[in-house]
Each structure stands twice: as structure tokens, then as C-alpha cells.
């Protein structure tokens, strides 16, 4: 059949998986540029974020979902509601697991949610991090994961190295339904650049700050403007819950906030392709995770807030 007369395919693909299995890394690889905050720590993603991949043949709308976890506050409940909504709304579910580890209780609970959403025939089981494990162990882990979705096709990848990504895309094209182009051809996300900048600043905090402190951090972009010379000026505020945390984020002689700014600026420049001037401030906002008005202020809306 002539390529030009093939039906156009499109659909929403939820990337589901427990925290830290590589959902945001995979999203960025599929797009070819960073739009999702990536950190070695779990729960880097707090909000649903669309990543749109468009060609002449298809439009894949990936939904990078937050990792499910035990809710402790209004923020946690919001994060979980985002993930569950994404599963219910998706045409396909890309169930991402860590091939270097055996499935655990979190994997099983998330699989149960997918089954409850009656999406079994829409699931593609994707085993990530195959670069971190030997073949024999990977094979054993694969069998355990397949038990969660016995009928689902399986693709093995490394989002870090890019191995298997082509096969994954081919598998998704095969399963995409016929549909319209939901977004303009050049659009890669529904999220404004100022919001992506806030997520990338928070991801930098996640990487550089130790222990539980990163989970007490929220970021608000106060200004995002393009100057006449084409450079972007960003002013953002990092919020913490206690004054002692504020001192840690700033660091001795301001060293830590400088490191956060340098790392975040590099990621933002990779995202927008422009020179970035980043100005960061740190403020204390006690118990912000349970403050609905503040959660809305920093972009969290929905059942959890």
C-alpha cells in the first residue's frame, strides 16, 4: 500500500510504574529532549505531563504519570489521583518495570489498578534497565513480571542507553488506534515552559540535596521572560517547610544554591535551546503540603488538593 494513503494513528499512552523505574528518563528519550524532571531519587514527577511525538504517520501522546505511593498528606493524595486518572483515560498503557530487580508489592498494587481500570488488553509490558543486569537474572525477573500481565506483549529496553527504544516505538505504532492529530505538529508538550522550568529546578534539588529534604521542596516560577537578545530570564522561588531546611538549600556562603542553579540552568537550556539567566530565591512555607491554596499556587489542582 502507498505510504501516503495509510490511515493516521493517534492515541494517549500512559507510562505507568512505581517511583524511580525510569518513567521520566524514558519520556525524555522518546521526545529527544528534556521536558520531565529526572533524578536518581523517587517521586521526581508530581504532576501528569504530556510528551507529544508526531510524524506523518502517527501522533503518540505520552502521559508521564507520577509514581504511586502511600499517601501521607494532601500532596500525596494529589499525586496518586493524577496517576489513577491517567490510567483510566489512556488508549494504551506502557507498564514500565525495573528489570534489575524482582517485582515487589508496589509493582503488584499498580498492576491491580491497571486491571481494575479494565485495561488488560491495552497493556505493553516494558522491562527497563536491562543494562544493569546479566542475561540469566533478567530472564528470571522477566518471568515474574510477566505473571502480572500474562497476555501483554513484552519489550526490553534501557532508557539510559537507548537500547530497545526503536522496537518499543514499533510496538506502539502497531497498537495505536486510528485517530486525529490532537495537537499541532510542532507541539511537544501541553505544559508551559515556565512550568517545565520549575520541575527541572526541583529535579536539580532532588539530585543535590540529601535524605528527605528534597521531598519538602516546592518550586514556583515567578518570572519567565525572553529578552531582546533571545536569552531567557527566569526568577524562581524554592519553598521549604522549615527555616533549618532553608539554610541547607542555600548552603555555606551560598554554595549549594549556586550548584542547584548551575545544574537547573543546564537542563533548562537543553529544553528550550536558549541562553538562560536563572535567579533563585529560598523561602520557608510551613506545612505547605497540606495547604490547598498554596498547592494550587504552585500548580497542583485536582482531587488531592
Report the alpha-carbon distance of residue 157 to residue 25 in Å, rounded. 12
pLDDT tier at 264 (50, 70, 90 boundaries)? very high
Q: Express each pLDDT in 211-221 by its tens digit.
A: 656 567 888 88
Dihedral-angle region of residue 152 (phi above 0 means left; psi in -120 to 50 means alpha; beta otherwise): beta
Other Cβ atoms less than 10 A from the Cβ of 244: the count is 10
Residue 178: is its pLDDT beyond 50? Answer: yes
Instruction: Give the pLDDT score at 211.
Output: 64
Strand-pair partners of 61: 12, 52
Q: Give pTM, 2 decimals.
A: 0.61
Count of residues in the chain: 305
Other Cβ atoms less than 10 A from the Cβ of 105: the count is 8
CATH 3.30.300.20, the chain: domain bounds = 193-297
Q: Look at residues 259, 262, 264, 263 and name the one whose alpha carbon lies nearest to residue 249.
A: 259
Phi, psi of 18 (to 5 degrees): -70, 165
- Which of helix, strand or coil describes residue 243? helix
pLDDT tier at 113 (50, 70, 90 boundaries)? confident
Q: Which residues lie below 8 Å from residue 240, measured CB to CB, with a gap of 6+?
A: 213, 216, 217, 246, 249, 282, 283, 284, 285
Query: For the chain, what is the mean pLDDT?
Result: 82
Interhelix angle 105-116/74-89, rounded to 10 degrees, is 50
Highest mean pLDDT among 53-62, 66-75, 104-113, 203-212: 53-62
Q: Residue with C-alpha cell 500500500?
A: 1
Instruction: Give the pLDDT score at 28.
Output: 80
CATH entry, 193-297, from 3.40.605.10, 3.40.50.300, 3.30.300.20, 3.40.630.190 = 3.30.300.20
CATH 3.40.50.300, the chain: domain bounds = 3-175
Instruction: Give the pLDDT score at 43.
Output: 41
Question: CA dist 249 to 31, 284, 298, Å?
Answer: 31, 11, 19
Question: CA dist 74 to 71, 292, 304, Å?
Answer: 8, 8, 5
Instruction: Give the pLDDT score at 268.
Output: 87
Is 3.40.50.2300 the CATH number for 3-175? no
Instruction: Give the pLDDT score at 5.
Output: 64
Q: Express each pLDDT in 268-300 by its tens digit.
A: 888 778 899 999 999 999 888 888 888 777 766
Given a contact cutoff of 8 angstroms between Cβ atoms, the answer to whether 21 and 106 are in contact is: no
Report the alpha-carbon distance of residue 136 to residue 139 in Å, rounded. 5
Residue 261: is its pLDDT beyond 70? Answer: yes
Instruction: Give the pLDDT score at 89.
Output: 79
pLDDT tier at 46 (50, 70, 90 boundaries)? very low
Quick one: average pLDDT of 142-169? 95
Residue 16: is its pLDDT beyond 70? Answer: yes
Instruction: Give the pLDDT score at 289.
Output: 80
Quick one: average pLDDT of 251-261? 94
Percent of the chain with pLDDT over 90: 41
Q: Express each pLDDT in 194-237 by its tens digit.
A: 777 888 898 898 888 876 565 678 888 888 888 878 888 999 99
Amino acid at each position: 500500500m502507498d505510504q501516503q494513503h495509510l490511515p493516521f494513528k493517534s492515541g494517549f499512552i500512559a507510562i505507568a510504574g512505581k517511583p524511580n523505574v525510569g518513567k521520566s528518563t524514558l519520556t525524555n528519550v522518546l521526545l529527544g529532549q528534556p521536558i520531565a524532571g529526572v533524578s536518581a531519587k523517587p517521586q521526581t514527577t508530581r504532576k501528569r505531563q504530556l510528551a507529544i511525538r508526531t510524524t506523518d504517520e502517527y501522533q503518540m501522546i505520552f502521559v508521564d504519570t507520577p509514581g504511586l505511593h502511600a499517601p501521607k498528606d494532601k500532596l500525596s493524595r494529589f499525586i496518586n489521583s493524577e496517576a489513577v486518572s491517567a490510567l483510566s483515560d489512556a488508549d494504551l498503557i506502557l507498564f514500565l518495570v525495573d528489570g534489575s530487580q524482582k517485582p515487589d508489592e508496589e509493582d503488584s498494587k499498580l498492576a491491580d489498578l491497571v486491571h481494575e481500570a479494565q485495561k488488560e488488553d491495552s497493556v505493553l509490558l516494558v522491562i527497563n534497565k536491562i543494562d544493569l543486569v546479566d542475561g540469566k537474572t533478567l530472564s528470571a525477573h522477566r518471568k515474574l513480571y510477566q505473571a502480572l500481565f500474562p497476555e501483554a506483549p513484552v519489550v526490553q529496553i534501557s532508557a539510559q542507553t537507548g537500547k530497545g527504544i526503536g522496537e518499543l516505538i514499533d510496538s506502539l505504532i502497531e497498537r495505536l488506534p486510528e485517530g486525529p492529530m490532537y495537537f499541532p505538529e510542532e507541539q511537544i508538550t501541553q505544559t508551559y515552559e515556565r512550568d517545565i522550568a520549575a520541575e527541572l529546578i526541583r529535579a536539580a534539588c532532588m539530585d543535590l540535596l540529601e535524605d528527605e529534604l528534597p521531598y519538602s521542596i516546592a518550586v514556583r516560577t515567578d518570572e519567565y521572560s525572553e529578552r531582546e537578545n533571545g536569552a531567557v530570564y527566569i526568577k524562581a522561588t524554592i519553598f521549604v517547610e522549615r527555616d533549618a531546611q532553608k539554610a541547607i538549600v542555600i548552603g555555606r556562603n551560598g554554595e549549594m544554591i549556586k550548584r542547584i542553579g548551575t545544574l537547573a540552568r543546564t537542563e533548562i537550556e537543553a529544553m528550550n535551546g536558549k541562553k538562560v539567566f536563572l535567579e533563585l530565591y529560598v523561602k520557608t512555607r510551613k506545612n505547605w503540603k497540606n495547604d490547598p491554596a498554596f498547592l494550587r499556587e504552585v500548580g497542583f489542582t485536582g482531587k488531592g488538593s
